[in-house]
Structure 1
């Protein structure tokens, strides 16, 4: 038995949870749940704020850090990337029954919760935006500002002591990328190869280029797989590129060649697959906080480095019906108002009026995602009329209705159970998930180990 599965490893944390949730754990069916990984944790314990005028310190919540730390060490020894748990009172005096949950291949992990994430109903299936490849733009050419000689001359003037990449290093990088370096990017690395050890002050190349330059060996292709978009988020997005767009609204592209960073985690790339109003070789920025799209930085690398253009052109947007509609008390006022032939994603949110019928969207050919809050659907069985759904996210009650009626859509690629983080017991969510998975011939969602002991 590993330390992770030893009840004594969990006792300090369980003692804190029992003290913080006495009423919950002594109530019938009461439970507390959380998730712990080596890099982060979500545990329902009160946070002790620092004294006024002093920054928060680990010592302010030392007991919690120590208790969680024991489990983190056990995870590392076990070679595990995380564990979810559910604690319930047992029949023994001061007894606790602890359920340790390890998700299998049938689900993505939940986000800061013990409840499982998206159920994966088909091997290798990806959200539609992740599957989307760039469209061809006939006639796309480099910007007039692109000038390899001017670019190299400016860089050599600003970085007279720079060490450039050799032809062998460039060839090796191109072999790794699987594509030739764009002409301007090749010219840049011929002047400065980007290695940290070449500089006493790394601010110098940052100022000269206009971004944090990656070493040549770390340049990579930002295709869709590089963005690591979870189903829960990817399914709620839509890829859209209008005739006025300089950058295609993609998750990623085989033509996005990342060579730097803005210093805050957003990637800087050369774009070889521009939008209809863009240029081949333009410079774009890929946000680490978004799942789809990128922003225009400059029309060319020369424009960025030599002319110091960092903000692209003003974004123009033609008026078009939205591909993603949020029906709720503050946004779209009805399902009827959301319906149009191009609608891909329908989200029913906080709603204070009569429950909604899905009849206005029955025949929409591109509707692939439905997400609904509790009580928003007049008849959950209407979902069976949405024949193009790939992703369905519902609360447990609505899933129960579909399962009992045999009305779960057969063509789903993934599904989400929108359970309340603390009110709903993750063990019930897992049981419900297993029913859904069984319809698709998928294995059970989790391996659950039960430990029991006393908390003195």
Structure 2
């Protein structure tokens, strides 16, 4: 791994890092007075992950925010450097001798590498610029004959809302037209009726909290102003490759809502107050209606749930009962997990519709991939370190777009020149404590195969002096 320098910023100054390094030396996980200690962590503009053992408060007193004051102050200096350098986060590893000499390696992010989550190790490697997992490329299936629900009644909806919100300020036709032009889509008549009654701007309520509560109660959600309407397409539902590649899009024949990541026909108009979004669905499932109300959970990456057959039903509090949505019949799942708690073998997971295979913690003999060789739709393999009998069997999985392996398995593929060229992204699973430098070196080898930007290491040296 070639050492380079970060762009000019205070991150290049050892003094910026001294407080963090002193903190890690003084309050590390283990006392190692007679030998060098090695530490690693990640610091971002808003979050950080450091191997710091928190001090304890006085007996009988709960830990206070002030107990972390030293850590906050130490991290703040690095966060200022991140702003100077135009970086969102940075990983580091350091070796500190008993007498205080420190060698610090900064691992600046590459545009081809996603951030590791709570870890100094790199996240997924994006081998093809702009690539997204297959579920994020999936568009809605056409549903011939789909129509609005019989309950959809824009006139009744508008009349009811005016009765319940007599003082509301409505949007003009020009404002509604401007929203349609911005979104590039015609708003359903029910949604137009809603906004003609209330434009849902905070200035219309001033400081009248009761008016806000009344509005939310009547409309059944925190209604967005017209300027905040957006299309919940797949790009709006961001998810790291490491998780997104393990999802699958499935729409059963009796589903009211298509099991998509996002749709150009999902018009988000409100929030539940808990972070979940409500949308009008113009691309319903086989048993759904055009303009039905669906909910997009902030805790899920794929799919939406049916709330009401129409916006009129939502306001009238006529909510829908869940229908369909399961795998149904004898259809086997597109995502399979083989581990000590789930499926007992790869044979049990193998079938022509399998898209994602995850091999987890395994206590028996390592597994052969022969049962899934040649499966037409298998695109993701994630294998926990030590679970594969022969990593070179991966060559028989010709449709892989995402591969997640341990360092040893990647080493076997690299040395044999057998890394699948079909990949769009990859990840290295780290088991236990391993040096970030060795993992970064491996990641850079993989990035080099696709001529992608490597992770830059900057080495700084300094003296912390003896420990107090």
Q: Distance in 2 between matches of 1:198 and 1:353?
A: 66
Matched residue, 1:35:
42
Counterparts in 2 of 1:191 and 1:260: CA distance versus 1, 3 Å: same
Equivalent of 1:132 in 129, 135, 138 = 138
TM-score, normalization: structure 1?
Answer: 0.94
Is it true that 1:272 corresponds to 2:278 in the alignment? no
Q: Structure 2: which 5+ residue stretches go unaligned?
A: 1-7
Q: Secondary structure at the match of 1:31?
A: strand
Q: Secondary structure at the match of 1:275?
A: coil
Matched residue, 2:345:
334
1:285 is displaced (CA, Å) by 0.8
* Residue-by-residue CA offset, 1:294-348 (whole Å, 9 max, x unaligned): 1111111111111352x64245521420100000011011000000000000000
Matched residue, 2:4:
none
Counterparts in 2 of 1:50 and 1:321: CA distance versus 1, 3 Å: farther
Equivalent of 2:156 in 150, 174, 190 = 150
Counterparts in 2 of 1:25 and 1:54: CA distance versus 1, 3 Å: closer
TM-score, normalization: structure 2?
Answer: 0.92
Query: Would you say the 8 A contact 2:154–2:193 is kept in 1?
Result: yes
Matched residue, 1:259:
269
Q: Distance in 2 between matches of 1:106 and 1:209?
A: 44
Counterparts in 2 of 1:38 and 1:182: CA distance versus 1, 3 Å: same
Matched residue, 2:395:
384
Counterparts in 2 of 1:270 and 1:53: CA distance versus 1, 3 Å: farther
Task: Report matched runs for 1:33-432 at 5 Å.
Answer: 33-48=40-55, 57-89=64-96, 93-199=99-205, 200-201=208-209, 202-309=212-319, 312-317=321-326, 318-319=328-329, 320-420=331-431, 423-432=433-442
Q: Distance in 2 between matches of 1:251 and 1:54?
A: 47
Q: Structure 1: which 5+ residue stretches go unaligned?
A: none
* Residue-by-residue CA offset, 1:160-218 (whole Å, 9 max, x unaligned): 11000011111111111010111111110110011111112222211111111111100
Aligned residues: 452
Query: Would you say the 8 A contact 1:25–1:31 is kept in 2?
Result: no
1:22 is displaced (CA, Å) by 7.2
* Residue-by-residue CA offset, 1:54-106 (whole Å, 9 max, x unaligned): 7754212211111112222232333322111111236x931111111211222
Q: Which moved more, 1:381-390 or 1:28-37?
A: 28-37
* Residue-by-residue CA offset, 1:215-260 (whole Å, 9 max, x unaligned): 1100000000001121111110110001111111111100000011
Query: Would you say the 8 A contact 1:238–1:323 is kept in 2?
Result: yes
Q: Secondary structure at the match of 2:93?
A: strand
Query: Would you say the 8 A contact 2:256–2:323 is kept in 1?
Result: no
